[in-house]
Amino acid sequence: MSSVWLPCGDYHQNYTQDQSWWQTTFIQAKMILLLLILFVGIPFLLPGYWISVATMVGYTAMGALGVQLLIGYTGLVTLGHAAFIAVGAYTSTLMILQFPWPSFIVNLGLAYPISIVCAAIVGGIWCVLFGLPSAKVKGFYLILTTMAAQFITVDFILTQYVSQIGGRGQAFSIPPGIIKIGPYAIDTEIKIYYVMIVLLTLMIAAMSNLLRSKVGRAWVAIRDNDIAAEALGINIIRYKLLAFFVAGAFAGITGAFWVSNTAALSPEHFPWFWSLWLVGVILIGGAGSIHGAIFGSMFMVLVMEGLQWAVIPLSEYYPKLLMDFAFIKDSAFGLAICAFLIYEPNGIAYRWWQVKNYFNLWPFSY
């Protein structure tokens, strides 16, 4: 039987059909429409403010993918992921500003793309260094080691030493037009958005393919029961460290992208709260789902933007509200996590899965 739309689901004859991305014509049409919205609709139909909001959603999703891989798919809790994003950002910045590139590399606009690759490698290696304790510890003790990554990397190494390179003080100034991909300078909101959407698409594709492979199945087995996985012959230390490397590489790419979206790079861009924020994104979006990283990022960014819109008119009558907005945002973040843990512990992705199943199985959706 061919793979066609059926009122009670799809019939698959082999593993390849079951694991294919776009299994029906209807899904193919939906994905083409989504790509048109992302690459044409948002950049050309929305005003500049909403393009920057969309860029922030993508940046959050890029950072959350690595956290999702560790927490959702491998069962390794991390509370210091902002450190690895910072490593990627500083690697890319130093390579652009300090590395003596040959003139033809600069003229061809290849310095920034090469720095993204190097940021991924350095971020992955740095993440593995702090993932080494996962070979012996897990749970609460692993949380402490990942927290140590944040304080050692950002508060000590980057702030006290790396930020002082070149005598710039605490921040690296990134001159306009220096971030280039080929002949194009990444100097407008639309260009920054396109860089984000291309990198995010590549990261999602890479993670999806990894999860459908032997490596992904090993990660899920370790998450579900690491003792049983080891008994089945899975080298859990090897796969745990590989998970840390991939998560760190994703973080490095995320940090390298952030360089194109800021005029000055500072350790203040990567506080410990950003690590907590990314974990919250996963909890709200849904652990163990790539959709969870996307939905969680959309929820957190859009809700906080809406909260800011609500506070600004009220600040005319209560000026202190605007001054205390950072505390209001933190409170809303905590309340959102509590609400989801109580009323929707599986996250938005689970609800999305239920909605899809309802329509795919209709009229037998009982």
How many CB atoms lie under 10 A from the CB of residue 257?
Answer: 28
pLDDT at 168: 58
Give the Cα separation of 155 and 149 in Å (integer). 10
Give the Cα separation of 88 and 252 in Å (integer). 4
**In the numeric block, which tokens belong to residue 78?**
């991390």
Cα-to-chain-centroid distance, residue 165:
28
What are the strands, taking DSSP E only, across 224-353? 264-265
pLDDT at 337: 93
Cis peptide before 176 (omega within 30 of 0): no
- Cβ(265)–Cβ(256) under 8 Å? no
pLDDT at 323: 77
pLDDT at 1: 46
Based on its alpha-carbon atoms, the radius of gyration of the chain, rounded to whole angstroms, reads 22
- Cβ(132)–Cβ(241) under 8 Å? yes
pLDDT at 48: 83
- Cβ(73)–Cβ(211) under 8 Å? yes
Q: What is the pTM of this model?
A: 0.91
Give the Cα separation of 63 and 200 in Å (integer). 10
pLDDT at 160: 87
Written as tens digits, the pLDDT of the chain (366 aa) is 444 554 555 677 777 777 777 777 878 888 899 999 999 999 888 888 899 999 999 999 999 999 999 999 999 989 999 999 999 999 999 999 888 889 889 888 899 999 999 999 999 999 999 999 888 888 888 888 889 999 999 999 998 888 877 665 667 888 888 899 988 899 899 999 999 999 999 999 999 999 989 999 999 999 999 999 999 999 999 999 999 999 999 999 999 999 999 888 989 999 999 999 999 999 999 999 999 999 999 999 999 998 888 888 877 777 777 777 778 888 889 999 999 999 999 999 999 988 888 877 776 655
**Helix (H) and strand (E) counts in the chain:** 18, 4
pLDDT at 321: 76
pLDDT at 167: 60
- Cβ(99)–Cβ(63) under 8 Å? no
The string of DSSP letters for 71-132 reads IIIT----S-HHHHHHHHHHHHHHHHHTS---HHHHHTT-HHHHHHHHHHHHHHHHHHHHHG
pLDDT at 272: 92
Give the Cα separation of 130 and 20 in Å (integer). 35
pLDDT at 218: 96
pLDDT at 166: 66
Give the Cα separation of 203 and 207 in Å (integer). 6
Nearest by Cα to 165 from 113, 114, 93, 100: 93
- Count of CA atoms in the C-beta half-sphere (13 A) of 323: 5
| CB proximity list for 298: less than 8 A, separation 6 or greater | 57
| CB proximity list for 5: less than 8 A, separation 6 or greater | 24, 25, 26
- Cβ(219)–Cβ(73) under 8 Å? yes
Give the Cα separation of 146 and 149 in Å (integer). 5
**In the numeric block, which tokens belong to residue 191?**
């260009």
Instruction: Give per-residue burial for 303-339: e unless 16+ CB within 10 Å, then b.
Output: ebeebeeebeeeeeeeeebeeebeebbeeebeebbee
| CB proximity list for 317: less than 8 A, separation 6 or greater | none
Q: Which residue has the tokens 């609400």?
A: 339
**In the numeric block, which tokens belong to residue 328?**
């209001």
